[in-house]
Structure 1
C-alpha cells in the first residue's frame, strides 16, 4: 500500500464537479501505479497515492473523503480541480476552497485544472502573469473575470510546473497522462494509455524526461524563488535578484537552493527555459532562433548547446520528431 513516501495526487470535489472525471482519473492513476509495480524498475518510481478532497459539515477546509493510503499524514503533491457541470463556479461558491488552495500551493503542492475548473483556480489569485488554458467557449468569460492571467485557449494542455491546466472537459485524460509521465515516467504513461485504448498526448510521446521541479522540500524561502522563476520564465537569473526574492544572502541562497531542489540555480533555470522551449518547438511556428530569444537566450548558439545537452536532441531534431 502507498505510504509516507508516495506521490499523492488529490482530486478536489467542489460544487458541481463532474464526478465522471474524478472517477476516471482515479482509475487511470491506480492502473498506472499497478503497472509501475509490475515493472522491474519499481524502485525507480515511488508509488502513487490517490485521494479525493471535499467539504464536509462542520469542517472549514476540504478533507480527504477517499484515500488509497488512509492514516498517512502530509500534504498532497498535486491537487486537481476537475471540470464543472453547468456554468463556471461563482466567487461565493469558490470562497471556502480559495484560502486552502493558496496555502497548499505556498507549501509546495502543484495545482491543476481542467476546463471550467480554471475558474476556481483563477479565484486563488495565483494566475497573475501565468499562461493557462480552458475550453474555448469560456475564453472570453475567463479573460473578463481574470484579466491578470494570460489565456491561450488554442492549446489543449499547458504545463507550467507548479500550475498545469487542460482545455475541454474530456482533456482530463491528457492531464492525468501528463501527471503519470511526470511522476512514473513515459514508459508507464504509454502502457497505461495502451491498456485503456487512449491516445497519449502528442507532447508526451518522448523518450526524454520532463522536468518536474521539486516543490515539497519544505524550504519556504527557496519555494518562493521557484514560484517567481516559474512565473517569470526564469528570464532574470541574476544571483542578486534571486537572493532578494528569497530574502537571503547570496551564498546562503546557493547552498539552500541546491539542497532543496537538487540543482544549482543555473541548472534549474536552464531546465525551466528548455521546458518552455520544448513547448514552443512543438506548438508554435517560431524559428529555433526566435524560440531561443523567447525563452531568454540572446545567444542562439548557447541555447542550442544547452537544449541538446538536456534533451538529447537538437531543437531542429526535437521539432521534427514531436511537432504537434
Structure 2
C-alpha cells in the first residue's frame, strides 16, 4: 500500500519547509520495511496549481504518474503575508474538492489562512504561529484557534504552529502511515524531538490593544504599568470609569480574557523574563511578580506556560 502525500506549492510557500518535509518522508520510507514492489510506502509529490488543475513538479515515485488520489495534502508555511481571498479562491476550491474525495488537509503556520479559505473550519480547532492568532480569528471567526498547541490532529484536518513545526507535522504523518516505531526512528535519525511539544512554551503574551474600547484600554494601561500586580477590581473599574459588573463584562469582551487571567499572564510574562535572564531562586521571582505563595505561582505558571518554572529555566535560561 502506498500513501500519497502532496505538498502544495502555492505562491510564497516556504521552500525550506517543502524540501525538509520531503527529506523527512523519504528518510522514514527508507527506515520502514520495504515491500517487494519498487514502489515506496510513502510517495511524496510537489504540486502546483494552474487554471484550477494540479500539476506534479516532483515525485519520489521512481515511475511517476499523476496521482489519482491523495491521502494528505500539506499547505507549507510562508514568509509572505497571507494570500487575499480572491487569490486564494482557486486553491481553496481545489482543496475542498480533494477533501471531499477523502484527502486529509494539513497546514503549517500561515498555511492555516489558505486552509481557512476552504470553508471547512467552522467549529474545528486549528493552530498557527502565535503571532498570527488574532488575524486568523478575525478572518475565520467560526474556527476555534488554539495557539497554545503546536499540533492539532483532527483526523481529516491537521494544523501545526510555527515555521519549524513542519518537523512535528511530518513525524505525526509518519506515525499515521508507518507507525510509531518508524516515527521514533525517523526522529532519531534527524535529531529532532518527538511530537509532544507545545507552542505556548515559546509564545509571548500579546494583549489586544486595538479593540476600540477606550475605557477598558485605560484599565489595561494600569495593568501593564504594574506588570499585573495592580489587579484589584475596584481600582481597575474606577480607572475605567465603570461600575464593576459592567467593567468585568466589557473587559472580557474587549480582551478575550477575564481581568484576573489578564493580570496573571502579565505576571507570568515577567517571570519568564526573570527565569530566562536572571539567577534569582524561583521563590524570590514569585515574590517579585506579586505572589506571596510560591506554590500558587507554580500552579499559575504551569497552567499558562505548560512547563513548571524550573523546567522553563532549564530549557530557556540564557
Normalised by the length of structure 2, the TM-score is: 0.59
Aligned position for 1:298:
none
- Listed as ranges, the matches of 1:35-50 within 5 Å are 35-37=31-33, 47-50=41-44
Which of 109, 120, 126 is the equivalent residue of 1:126?
120
Deviation (angstroms), 1:83:
0.3
Deviation (angstroms), 1:37:
2.9
Q: Distance in 2 between matches of 1:140 and 1:42?
A: 50
Deviation (angstroms), 1:101:
0.3
Q: Is the 1:36–1:42 contact (alpha carbons within 8 Å) kept by the matching residues of 2? A: no
Deviation (angstroms), 1:73:
3.7
Say whether 1:105 aligns with 2:112.
no
Q: Is the 2:56–2:66 contact (alpha carbons within 8 Å) kept by the matching residues of 1? A: no
Which of 186, 193, 198 is the equivalent residue of 1:192?
186
Aligned position for 1:15:
11
Q: Distance in 2 between matches of 1:60 and 1:102?
A: 12
Aligned position for 2:278:
none
Moved over 4 A (4+): none
SS at match of 2:171: helix
Aligned position for 2:57:
65
Q: Distance in 1 between matches of 2:174 and 2:21?
A: 11
Deviation (angstroms), 1:42:
8.8
Give 1 or 2 for the bigger CA radius of gyration: 2
Alignment coverage as a number of residue pairs: 196
Q: Distance in 2 between matches of 1:73 and 1:18?
A: 23
> Cα 1:129–1:24, aligned 2, differ >3 Å: closer, same or farther?
same
Q: Is the 2:171–2:194 contact (alpha carbons within 8 Å) kept by the matching residues of 1? A: yes
Q: Distance in 2 between matches of 1:116 and 1:102?
A: 18
Say whether 1:53 aligns with 2:47.
yes
Deviation digits for residues 46-77 of structure 1 (CA, Å, limit 9, x no counterpart): 70110011124xx4322211112212641110
Q: Distance in 1 between matches of 2:36 and 2:85?
A: 43
> Cα 1:152–1:42, aligned 2, differ >3 Å: closer, same or farther?
farther
> Cα 1:73–1:15, aligned 2, differ >3 Å: closer, same or farther?
closer
Aligned position for 1:176:
170
Q: Distance in 2 between matches of 1:66 and 1:118?
A: 23
SS at match of 1:55: strand
Q: Is the 1:15–1:93 contact (alpha carbons within 8 Å) kept by the matching residues of 2? A: no
Say whether 1:201 aligns with 2:192.
no
Q: Is the 1:118–1:134 contact (alpha carbons within 8 Å) kept by the matching residues of 2? A: yes
- Any gaps of 5 or more consecutive residues in structure 2? 198-305, 308-318
RMSD of aligned alpha carbons: 2.2
Normalised by the length of structure 1, the TM-score is: 0.58
Q: Distance in 1 between matches of 2:52 and 2:157?
A: 24
SS at match of 1:37: coil
SS at match of 1:103: helix
Q: Is the 1:113–1:121 contact (alpha carbons within 8 Å) kept by the matching residues of 2? A: yes
- Any gaps of 5 or more consecutive residues in structure 1? 204-322
SS at match of 2:32: helix
